[in-house]
Amino acid sequence: MALLKIAHMGHPVLLQSAEPVADVDAPEIRALIADMIETMLDASGAGLAAPQIYRSLRIFVYHVPASRAGDGDEALSPRALINPEISPIGQETMACVEGCLSLPGLRGTVPRHAQVRFGGWNEKGERVDGEAHGFHANVLQHEYDHLDGILYPMRMNDFTTFGYAEEFSRVAAHS
């Protein structure tokens, strides 16, 4: 396995719609997913989309660390979604404080659907479908946006919550 280079804000691949994966069982797709998971974990991320590593493919990897699992949520080990589909369940939204490996050091609050339905193929080429809420729903929506060329600041509606993570931590510590 190999660590991959992460694209940063301003690179055109981050602002384009990614192409569907033609063969979800291809060995090169499985190898790419393994490298993406290793890269995500090494960078202490919760997710990583293929466009973030300069690959215009509809793939993302993610996990739900125990530290991010909320009330009634379970931690999830690293996994992949290939050619994912995501749709909201209901109208309820939640405010999510997000960061991104492609926008290092920044954080902002993004409105997201509280619950989503998801489907696609996993890293073994098997069809998966399910529902997610809380942080799990948040990370799915964030990574799915990358596949459509959307970065989280594009979803923000209150830029008073956008800034350097270090500054927000410093202010919170003095509150």
Q: Is 143 a catalytic residue?
A: yes
d(CA 59, CA 112) in angstroms, rounded, equals: 20
Length of the chain: 175
Is residue 82 within 8 Å of 122, Cβ to Cβ?
yes
Residue by residue, what is the 3-state secondary structure of 62-73? EEECHHHCCCCC
**Which regions of 20-157 does DSSP assign to beta strands (E)?**
47-49, 59-64, 76-88, 93-98, 106-113, 115-121, 127-133
Identified catalytic residue from 74, 126, 143, 167: 143
Q: How far is CA 85 from the centre of its chain?
A: 14
Cβ-contact 25, 125 below 8 angstroms = yes
Residues annotated catalytic, as ranges: 143
